[in-house]
């Protein structure tokens, strides 16, 4: 079985793939000061609760966009699984069916998204990833990453709004029925969430016009289900897209 680790700025996602499906997914809050032992204990507990043996893991692949975690994520697997992880990075990209003009600038999570989009959906694809950042990755039918757009993610936008204003409360990420706020909570939800609906619609329209070729749109990320009015904009919503990309990278290298 495969253990895929996707370390983002908000959460670290650990996924277990049994060769057919993703059978387990665990999230651990990203805290760079945690040491290796804490990650080992987290995984031991989850393996135990899931009735999985540590010896069932024969491959490990890691993507990290948090440099402070790289050493820990490089070393945690040896004591647990007696295996070295495959760390996704620029040195591996030449072995993938992808082309990028800025291999040292693009995040490994976006490479994983592009890999999954190119292999699973073929043709030209725009991947919209609703994470800590809202990203749009454009991959052409040949596997060339044409470009990436990055905006603050939903939680990031709300946290910035609340953190920089004196009287605005934290609010749940729930899309209200009306875009016209009737109270403070409703006003923030309407402004941010309906604002993001408009931003995604506008960005997709502009990118499609500039790209000027038939293109599929695939959404992923933990927050992809919140903005449900956007779902008619997407050809697919695949919450495991990044993990799938890591799996495909591990099978290619």
Domain of 225, in residue numbers = 97-247
Report the number of distinct structural domains present in the chain: 2
Spans of the chain below 50 pLDDT? none
65 shares its domain with 103: no
Q: How much is the pTM? A: 0.94
Q: CA angle, corner 209, sides to 206 and 210, nearest 5?
A: 85
Q: What is the pLDDT of residue 244?
A: 98
Q: What is the pLDDT of residue 166?
A: 64
181 shares its domain with 215: yes
123 shares its domain with 27: no
134 shares its domain with 79: no
133 shares its domain with 231: yes
82 shares its domain with 101: no
Tell me if 170 is assigned to some domain: yes
Tell me which residue has tokens 């289900």: 225
187 shares its domain with 147: yes
Q: What is the pLDDT of residue 128?
A: 98
Of the candidates 210, 238, 216, 224, the residue with the CA atom closest to the CA atom of residue 118: 216
The CATH code of the domain that includes 55 is 3.30.420.40
How many Cα neighbours within 13 Å face the side chain of 2? Answer: 22
CA distance 165 to 213: 43
Q: Which residues are catalytic?
A: 109
Neighbours of 189 (CB within 10 A): 21
């Amino acid at each position: 079985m495969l253990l895929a680790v996707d370390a983002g700025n908000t959460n670290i996602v650990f996924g277990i793939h049994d060769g057919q499906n993703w059978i387990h997914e665990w999230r651990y809050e990203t805290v760079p000061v945690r040491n290796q032992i804490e990650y080992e204990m987290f995984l031991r507990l989850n393996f135990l609760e899931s009735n999985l043996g540590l010896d069932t893991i024969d491959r490990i692949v890691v993507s990290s966009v948090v440099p402070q975690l790289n050493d820990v994520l490089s070393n945690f697997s040896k004591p647990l699984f007696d295996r070295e992880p495959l760390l996704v990075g620029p040195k591996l990209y030449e072995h993938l069916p992808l082309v990028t003009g800025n291999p040292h600038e693009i995040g490994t999570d976006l490479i994983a998204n592009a890999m999954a989009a190119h292999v699973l959906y073929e043709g030209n694809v725009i991947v919209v990833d609703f994470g800590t950042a809202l990203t749009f990755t454009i991959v052409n039918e040949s596997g060339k990453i044409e470009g990436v757009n990055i905006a603050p993610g939903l939680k990031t936008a709300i946290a910035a709004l609340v953190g920089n204003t004196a009287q605005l409360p934290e609010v749940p990420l729930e899309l209200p029925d009306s875009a016209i706020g009737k109270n403070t909570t409703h006003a923030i939800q309407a402004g941010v969430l309906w604002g993001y609906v408009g931003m995604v619609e506008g960005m997709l329209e502009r990118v499609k016009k500039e790209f000027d070729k038939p293109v599929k749109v695939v959404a992923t990320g933990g927050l992809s289900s919140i903005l449900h009015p956007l779902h008619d904009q997407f050809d697919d919503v695949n919450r495991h897209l990044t993990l799938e990309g890591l799996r495909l990278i591990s099978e290619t290298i």
